[in-house]
Structure 1
Amino acid sequence: MDTVINIALAGNPNAGKTTLFNYLTGLRQHVGNYPGITVEHIQGCCLHNQQGLSIVDLPGTYSLTAYSSEELVARDYLINEKPQIVINIVDASNLERNLYLTCQFLELGIPLVIALNMIDVAENRGLLVDAEKLSEILKVPVVPIVARSGKGVDHLLDTVIAATQSGVTPEPAFLRYGSDIDEALSEMVPIINKHALLTDIYPARWTGVKLLENDEQVYEKSTAVNPEATQELKKYCAQVTGHLQQTAGVYPEAVIADHRYGFIKSIMRQHIVTEKFVGDRLYTSDRIDKIVTHRVLGPLIMASILFGLYAFTFSSSTFLVELFASFFALLSSTVDSVLADGPLKSMLISGVIDGVGGVLGFVPIIMFMFFGIAILEDSGYLARVAFMMDRIFHAFGLHGSSVMPFIISGGIAGGCAVPGVMATRTLRSPKERMATLLTVPFMNCGAKLPVLTLLIGAFFADHQARYMFLATVISWIVALCAAKFLRMTVLRGESTPFVMELPPYRFPTINGLVIHTWERTWQYIKKAGTVILGISVLLWAMMTYPGLPEDQVTSFAQKRQQIIQQSDQPASEPTTKALHALNAEQAAAGLRHSIAGRIGIALEPASQLAGIDWRTNIALLGGFAAKEVIISTLGTAYSIGDIATEEPTSLTRRLASDPAWNPVVALAVLLFIMFYAPCFVTVICIAKESGSWKWAFFSMAFNTAFAFIMAVTVYQIGMLLNLG
Structure 2
Amino acid sequence: MPTIALLGNPNTGKTTLFNELTDTYAYVGNWTGVTVDKKIGQLHGSPAKMVDLPGIYSLNPLTKDEAVATDYLLTANPNLILNVTNASQLKRNLLLTIELLESGTPVVLVLNMIDDLYQTPYLLDLPTLAQRLNCQIKTTNARNKQGVAALHQRLLTSLDQPASSTFQLTYPAAVEQALATAVTRLTPRYSATFSRWLAIQFMAQNQTIRDYAQQQHLQALTTAAADYDRQGFERQIFQTRQAFITTTLQAAQRLNPDVRANHLTQRIDEWVTHPLLGLPIFVGIFWLMFKLSFDWIGTPASNLLNTWLSGPITDWANHLLSTLGTLPFLQALLVDGILNGVGGVLTFVPQIFVLFACISILEDSGYMARAALVTDRLMQAFGLNGKSFIPLIIGFGCNVTGVMATRTIEQPKERLITILLSPFMSCSARLPIYSLFVAAFFSRHQAVIVLSLYFLGIVVALAMAKGYQLAFHLKATSDFIIELPQYHLPRVDLILRGTWDKGKGFVKKAGTVIFAGTVLVWLLSNLSWHGMTTDIDQSLAANLGQLLLPLFIPLGVRSWQVVSALITGVMAKETITASMIVLFHLSGQTALVATFSGLFTPLSAYSLLVFILLYIPCFSTLATIKAETGSTKWMLYSGISSFLVAYALATIIFQVGSLFV
TM-score (norm: length of structure 1): 0.82
Q: Write out aligned runs for 1:41-80 (5 A).
A: 41=39, 43=41, 45-47=43-45, 55-77=50-72, 80=75
Return the offset for 1:378. Answer: 0.6
One of 93, 96, 113 as aligned partner of 2:91: 96
Q: Which one-letter code corresponds to 1:395 in the other structure?
A: A
- Residues 1:705 and 1:270: Cα distance change in structure 2 (over 3 Å): same
Q: Which residue of 1 aligns with 2:168?
A: 174
Structure 2 counterpart SS, 1:43: strand
* Kept in 2: contact 1:656–1:662 (CA 8 A): no
Render the CA deviation track for 1:150-206: whole Å, top value 9, x for unaligned: 2222222232222222243334x4334545544444443344345x3xx48992223
Return the offset for 1:394. Answer: 1.0
* Kept in 2: contact 1:459–1:656 (CA 8 A): no
Q: Which one-letter code corresponds to 1:87 in the other structure?
A: L
Q: Which one-letter code corresponds to 1:147 in the other structure?
A: A
CA distance in 1, matches of 2:561, 2:175: 68
Return the offset for 1:364. Answer: 1.0
CA distance in 2, matches of 1:29, 1:192: 39
- Residues 1:74 and 1:542: Cα distance change in structure 2 (over 3 Å): farther
Render the CA deviation track for 1:567-598: whole Å, top value 9, x for unaligned: xxxxxxxxxxxxxxxxxxx44224xx31x433
Q: Which residue of 2 aligns with 1:189?
A: 183
Moved more, 507-516 or 334-343: 334-343
- Residues 1:221 and 1:416: Cα distance change in structure 2 (over 3 Å): same
Q: Which residue of 2 aligns with 1:626?
A: 572
Q: Which one-letter code corresponds to 1:189 in the other structure?
A: V
CA distance in 2, matches of 1:203, 1:655: 71
Q: Which residue of 2 aligns with 1:560?
A: none
Moved more, 694-703 or 488-497: 488-497
Return the offset for 1:517. Answer: 1.4
- Residues 1:80 and 1:630: Cα distance change in structure 2 (over 3 Å): farther
Matched, 1:638 2:635: no
Structure 2 counterpart SS, 1:109: coil
Matched, 1:370 2:356: yes
* Kept in 2: contact 1:133–1:272 (CA 8 A): no
Q: Which residue of 1 aligns with 2:297?
A: 316
- Residues 1:42 and 1:666: Cα distance change in structure 2 (over 3 Å): farther
Return the offset for 1:521. Answer: 2.1
- Residues 1:335 and 1:700: Cα distance change in structure 2 (over 3 Å): same
* Kept in 1: contact 2:341–2:578 (CA 8 A): yes
Q: Which residue of 2 aligns with 1:712?
A: 651
Render the CA deviation track for 1:205-245: whole Å, top value 9, x for unaligned: 2323444455554455445544xx45x7434313433x15x
Q: Which residue of 1 aligns with 2:30?
A: none
Q: Which residue of 2 aligns with 1:478?
A: 460
Greater relative contact order (Cα < 8 A, sep 6+):
2
CA distance in 2, matches of 1:457, 1:175: 66
Q: Which residue of 2 aligns with 1:238?
A: 226
* Kept in 1: contact 2:6–2:81 (CA 8 A): yes
* Kept in 2: contact 1:675–1:707 (CA 8 A): yes
CA distance in 1, matches of 2:623, 2:548: 25
Structure 2 counterpart SS, 1:70: helix
CA distance in 1, matches of 2:195, 2:98: 16
Return the offset for 1:446. Answer: 2.1
CA distance in 2, matches of 1:296, 1:716: 35
* Kept in 2: contact 1:307–1:465 (CA 8 A): yes
Structure 1 counterpart SS, 2:116: helix
Render the CA deviation track for 1:419-457: whole Å, top value 9, x for unaligned: 322222232322222222211221112222233223222
Render the CA deviation track for 1:584-616: whole Å, top value 9, x for unaligned: xx44224xx31x433322221111111233222
Q: Which residue of 1 aligns with 2:407?
A: 425
Structure 1 counterpart SS, 2:224: helix
CA distance in 2, matches of 1:263, 1:167: 26
Structure 2 counterpart SS, 1:93: coil
Render the CA deviation track for 1:5-60: whole Å, top value 9, x for unaligned: 754433222212233334445xx43569xxxx98362635534xxx6775444333
Return the offset for 1:711. Answer: 0.8
Q: Which residue of 2 aligns with 1:569?
A: none
* Kept in 1: contact 2:555–2:607 (CA 8 A): yes
Render the CA deviation track for 1:461-492: whole Å, top value 9, x for unaligned: 22111112222222221111110111122454
- Residues 1:453 and 1:211: Cα distance change in structure 2 (over 3 Å): farther
CA distance in 1, matches of 2:40, 2:362: 21
Q: Which residue of 2 aligns with 1:285?
A: 265
CA distance in 2, matches of 1:518, 1:425: 24
Q: Which residue of 1 aligns with 2:122?
A: 127
Matched, 1:488 2:470: yes
Q: Which residue of 2 aligns with 1:589?
A: 537
* Kept in 2: contact 1:131–1:144 (CA 8 A): no
- Residues 1:6 and 1:454: Cα distance change in structure 2 (over 3 Å): farther
One of 622, 627, 632 as aligned partner of 1:688: 627
* Kept in 1: contact 2:521–2:583 (CA 8 A): no
One of 184, 194, 207 as aligned partner of 1:203: 194
One of 532, 538, 543 as aligned partner of 1:598: 543
Q: Write out aligned runs for 1:24-43 (5 A).
A: 24=21, 28-29=23-24, 39=37, 41=39, 43=41
* Kept in 1: contact 2:63–2:410 (CA 8 A): no
Q: Which residue of 2 aligns with 1:303?
A: 283
Matched, 1:12 2:9: yes
Matched, 1:616 2:610: no
Matched, 1:382 2:368: yes
CA distance in 2, matches of 1:493, 1:59: 29
Q: Which one-letter code corresponds to 2:366 in the other structure?
A: G
Return the offset for 1:683. Answer: 1.8
Instruction: Say which one has the larger Rg.
Output: 1
CA distance in 2, matches of 1:677, 1:179: 61
Structure 1 counterpart SS, 2:482: coil
Structure 1 counterpart SS, 2:584: helix
CA distance in 2, matches of 1:694, 1:397: 23
* Kept in 1: contact 2:571–2:618 (CA 8 A): yes
Return the offset for 1:86. Answer: 3.1
- Residues 1:278 and 1:119: Cα distance change in structure 2 (over 3 Å): closer
Q: Which residue of 2 aligns with 1:264?
A: 245
Q: Which residue of 1 aligns with 2:142?
A: 147
Structure 2 counterpart SS, 1:116: strand
* Kept in 1: contact 2:4–2:50 (CA 8 A): yes
* Kept in 2: contact 1:31–1:40 (CA 8 A): no
CA distance in 2, matches of 1:404, 1:73: 19
Q: Which one-letter code corresponds to 2:503 in the other structure?
A: T
Q: Which runs of 5+ in 1 are unaligned?
A: 554-585, 643-647
CA distance in 2, matches of 1:216, 1:521: 38
Return the offset for 1:288. Answer: 1.6
Return the offset for 1:497. Answer: 3.2
CA distance in 2, matches of 1:112, 1:236: 31
Q: Which runs of 5+ in 2 are unaligned?
A: 28-34
CA distance in 1, matches of 2:122, 2:591: 57
* Kept in 2: contact 1:12–1:90 (CA 8 A): yes
Aligned length: 647
Moved more, 381-390 or 258-267: 258-267
Q: Write out aligned runs for 1:511-526 (5 A).
A: 511-526=493-508
* Kept in 2: contact 1:67–1:425 (CA 8 A): no
Render the CA deviation track for 1:604-646: whole Å, top value 9, x for unaligned: 111111123322222222222222222222232222xx5xxxx
Identity %: 33
* Kept in 2: contact 1:458–1:652 (CA 8 A): no
Q: Which one-letter code corresponds to 1:419 in the other structure?
A: T
CA distance in 1, matches of 2:11, 2:26: 20
* Kept in 2: contact 1:358–1:651 (CA 8 A): no
Q: Which residue of 2 aligns with 1:407?
A: 393
Structure 1 counterpart SS, 2:598: coil
Q: Which residue of 2 aligns with 1:607?
A: 552
